[in-house]
Structure 1
Amino acid sequence: MPNFYLCSIFIDNLLLMDDLLPDLDLDLPSPRRDQRVVVAMSGGVDSSTTACLLKHSGYDVIGITLQLYDHGLKIGSVGGCCAGKDIYDARVVAELFGIPHYVLDYESRFHERVIEDFADSYLRGKTPIPCVQCNQRIKFRDLLITARGLGASALVTGHYVRRVPGPHGVELHRAIDLAKDQSYFLFTTTREQLEFLRFPLGNFRKNQTRNYASRLGLKVQNKPDSQDICFVPNGKYSEVVKKLRPEAYEPGEIVHLDGTVIGRHEGIIHYTIGQRRGLGIGGRKVKGGQSHTDPLYVISLSPETHRVVVGPRSALGTNYVLIGELNWLVGELHANMNISSNFRVFAKLRSSQEITMGTLHLTGDSAKLILDDVQFGISAGQAAVFYDAEAGNRLLGGGWIMRTRKFLE
């Protein structure tokens, strides 16, 4: 149970800090004390600060933490999102500020909807993005339903993205802090979900969030951002897939683009498109004992033949991307999603990639993107996310990359 004596001291102190802390307005009817909001509290600095600032701003706040995958229980270490230590951190913050806090066990559905799909994608030679699947299938689906069931007016998260009123409805825009912008991971959000969601940190920079956490007295103020996928210990994807899909470890050949077999591997799961290090083949060996010293990269994976195809970096280039399972967040595009059309967009094809210009050719629920400049290392299974061509901040929507070609034929 919360320590209400300590809670009252902290809340009284907050009243003296009004000029130091921001007033968060979630664009909900007044008075705020009658507006219940559910905050998804992962235990990190972002969601913890969000919950406390909303409490300070007068909202009726409930914190919910999802137990998705407990590192401490499963692999004997601590770290990552929604693990045991993170649940503890979220609970401490909630207790300190008198926020009712619930932990929901979503581990089984997370395993079925996210982890199993992650393993299957690798078996198909694709490079999955489980964080998008988690938002789509767990957080913005099941957790949203739970928030409504608790009588909440909004579900609030600590994502760095902005929710902006537009002429055709609410829109998503990139965060003020572009270095922390997370809009790429939210392209599957539906327009109906967006009406209920709020993202107050989109107007802050990360250093501001940590500064507010410090002023609030949160011990998580210096907690590092999670870098790895929560259920992948130390970034070793192959260990997770091996446990779930042992067949991914079937050995095969490493083949150069020209057809020359230059080595063997112990399973395609060890490789991703664009990978350079860890191939274990050095330069390309040729007849006569000569060797090329140019680095080789993974160009493609063939699950059917268990082959890893390698070649020079130039072979990774593409300016043609075929995209499926499109989702549009902008009203005018959503209303005309089955109409064929062409228009200019900014596109982001990997989470760490800068946006680039291209022309999008829509054909119903699929599209082809013709890029102005050749991009490298783009692989099937990743997301293609589109932004307004004029400003580059408004998120139009996106889809899943099905295949690429080096040049438009």
Structure 2
Amino acid sequence: MRVLAAMSGGVDSAVAAARAVDAGHDVVGVHMALSKSRAEHRTGNRGCCSVEDGHDARRAADKLGIPYYVWDLSDDFEDTVVSDFLSEYSAGRTPNPCVRCNEHVKFAALLERGLAMGFDAVCTGHYADLRTVETDTGARHELHRAANHPKDQSYVLAVMGKQVLGNVLFPLGSVPTKDAVRVEAAARGLGVSLKPDSYDICFIADGDTRGFLRSKLGENPGEIVDESGNIVGSHLGAFAYTVGQRRGLGLGIPADDGQPRFVTKIEIETNRVHVGPVEALDVHRIRGGSTVWLAPDIDPTAPLRAGVQVRAHGREIPATVQVIDDQLVMDLDEPLRGLAAGQSAVVYLGTRVLGQATVEDTE
């Protein structure tokens, strides 16, 4: 196959590309330039998409002996991921930019261009497992958790959609640990073997999400109120808060029982942030929209016992799930706390990813 290997400049994508070469594929490396100010987007191991990352990706491609190109996808990234991030926070929701990036840029934009250029598949260094099941009606592609459970990224990949699964490769899905990847990179002579992982939101390299939102959205002072509607503090912008938040509230009036309070609701219409006791965060039912169902062999409109995960490395909760009136309804066996509209909810059956939806509301 002709394979387009996405090379971020990190160790995972370099080893994934190397494994694609070993498998006999005709591999071309491509580095996606996602930031319009790339030199500013790495501080230690914060952020990504810097000029340094591009150089590291080029050196890895040279070592593997494969062609290498840089594609400027910064407009796609700005128009979809960053703009969505700002609009979602403006609406009082809590988005996951990594989910949107995987949906719109790392697969949609990259795969669309790759297929148009005659490539058969896109290869990335994500930790996830793709399996092919032969059926009477042909091959079925399934997305599963990676063997390396602590690094598993199937949660952020679930939004891809079943139509993409036949055109992607995840060579690291069977690797048991990140250390094993680093050992393999060193054995191959790849200079990124000891490069630290990047973390946090890539376009907020200093990690100050509240500061970034304020710089983009401005200040909009309002009230912080308790469960009885009493004013207990003030804020400079409701968009800077998220459901479940405890720190940084700056409340001037303590709770009657002396217990800490948490953000329980963000009311954009009145520009109010609501706070209450931790018990007020308990969620028993989740309703999700924009549902992506990856399992054509399973009817989502019939009640199904499965697991639900609502954070990238969160715990899976047993639940009964069902698509009702185009909404993915998830009734949890035990309550979750601090779940906000805009987050991604992913449904698992064992290790297999069945579907994904964006949280619209909760009970």
TM-score bracket for this pair, using the shorter chain length? over 0.9
Question: In structure 2, do the counterparts of structure 1 residues 394 and 144 end up closer, same or farther at CA, with 3 Å as the change threshold?
Answer: same
Q: Report the structure number with the largest CA radius of gyration.
A: 1
Question: Of the candidates 181, 188, 202, which is equivalent to residue 152 of structure 2?
Answer: 181
Question: Of the candidates 148, 167, 174, which is equivalent to residue 203 of structure 1?
Answer: 174
The 8 Å contact of residues 71 and 84 in structure 1, kept in 2 or not, is answered as no
Give the C-alpha shift of residue 146 in structure 1. Answer: 2.0
How many equivalent residue pairs? 357
Question: In structure 2, do the counterparts of structure 1 residues 327 and 296 end up closer, same or farther at CA, with 3 Å as the change threshold?
Answer: same
The 8 Å contact of residues 70 and 82 in structure 1, kept in 2 or not, is answered as no
The 8 Å contact of residues 94 and 340 in structure 2, kept in 1 or not, is answered as yes
Question: In structure 2, do the counterparts of structure 1 residues 203 and 108 end up closer, same or farther at CA, with 3 Å as the change threshold?
Answer: same
Moved more, 275-284 or 198-207: 275-284
Give the C-alpha shift of residue 74 in structure 1. Answer: 4.5
Question: Of the candidates 210, 221, 224, which is equivalent to residue 238 of structure 1?
Answer: 210
Give the C-alpha shift of residue 53 in structure 1. Answer: 2.7
CA distance in 1, matches of 2:231, 2:195: 47
In the alignment, which residue of structure 2 is the partner of 1:65?
Answer: 31
Moved more, 52-61 or 149-158: 52-61
Q: Match of 1:127, SS?
A: coil
The 8 Å contact of residues 160 and 175 in structure 1, kept in 2 or not, is answered as yes
Question: Of the candidates 252, 274, 281, which is equivalent to residue 222 of structure 2?
Answer: 252
> For residues 380-399 of structure 1, what are the structure 2 equivalents within 5 Å?
380-388=341-349, 392-399=350-357
Moved more, 269-278 or 312-321: 269-278
- Computed over aligned residues only, the root mean square deviation of the Cα atoms, in angstroms, reads 1.8
Deviations 1:341-365 (A, max 9, x none): 2111111012231101011132142
The 8 Å contact of residues 289 and 360 in structure 2, kept in 1 or not, is answered as yes
Give the C-alpha shift of residue 223 in structure 1. Answer: 1.4
In the alignment, which residue of structure 2 is the partner of 1:152?
Answer: 119
**Counterpart check, 1:274 vs 2:232:** no
**Counterpart check, 1:116 vs 2:86:** no
Give the C-alpha shift of residue 315 in structure 1. Answer: 0.6
**Counterpart check, 1:171 vs 2:142:** yes
**Counterpart check, 1:105 vs 2:86:** no
Question: Of the candidates 228, 233, 236, which is equivalent to residue 263 of structure 1?
Answer: 233
Structure 1 runs not aligned, ≥5 long: 1-34, 286-290
In the alignment, which residue of structure 2 is the partner of 1:44?
Answer: 10
Give the C-alpha shift of residue 70 in structure 1. Answer: 5.2
CA distance in 2, matches of 1:343, 1:76: 43
Q: Match of 2:80, SS?
A: helix
Moved more, 174-183 or 138-147: 138-147
Deviations 1:213-232 (A, max 9, x none): 11112221121222111101
Q: Match of 2:254, SS?
A: coil
CA distance in 1, matches of 2:41, 2:12: 26
In the alignment, which residue of structure 2 is the partner of 1:316?
Answer: 281
Q: What TM-score, normalized to structure 2?
A: 0.93
Question: Of the candidates 157, 164, 182, which is equivalent to residue 193 of structure 1?
Answer: 164
Give the C-alpha shift of residue 72 in structure 1. Answer: 4.6
> For residues 300-339 of structure 1, what are the structure 2 equivalents within 5 Å?
300-333=265-298, 336=299
> For residues 333-352 of structure 1, what are the structure 2 equivalents within 5 Å?
333=298, 336=299, 340-352=301-313
Moved more, 56-65 or 270-279: 56-65
Task: Give the residue type in structure 2 aligned to 1:345.
Answer: A
Q: Match of 1:188, SS?
A: helix
Higher relative contact order (CA 8 A, sep 6+): 2
Moved more, 371-380 or 142-151: 142-151
Question: Of the candidates 322, 325, 338, which is equivalent to residue 361 of structure 1?
Answer: 322
Task: Give the residue type in structure 1 aligned to 2:245.
Answer: Q
The 8 Å contact of residues 41 and 203 in structure 2, kept in 1 or not, is answered as no
Task: Give the residue type in structure 1 aligned to 2:164.
Answer: Q
The 8 Å contact of residues 41 and 204 in structure 2, kept in 1 or not, is answered as no
Q: Which has the higher strand share?
A: 2
Structure 2 runs not aligned, ≥5 long: none
Task: Give the residue type in structure 2 aligned to 1:367.
Answer: L
Give the C-alpha shift of residue 318 in structure 1. Answer: 0.8
In the alignment, which residue of structure 2 is the partner of 1:376?
Answer: 337
CA distance in 1, matches of 2:102, 2:76: 13
Q: Which segments of structure 1 move beyond 6 Å, counting only runs of 4 or more?
A: none
The 8 Å contact of residues 92 and 268 in structure 2, kept in 1 or not, is answered as yes
Give the C-alpha shift of residue 234 in structure 1. Answer: 2.0
In the alignment, which residue of structure 2 is the partner of 1:213?
Answer: 185
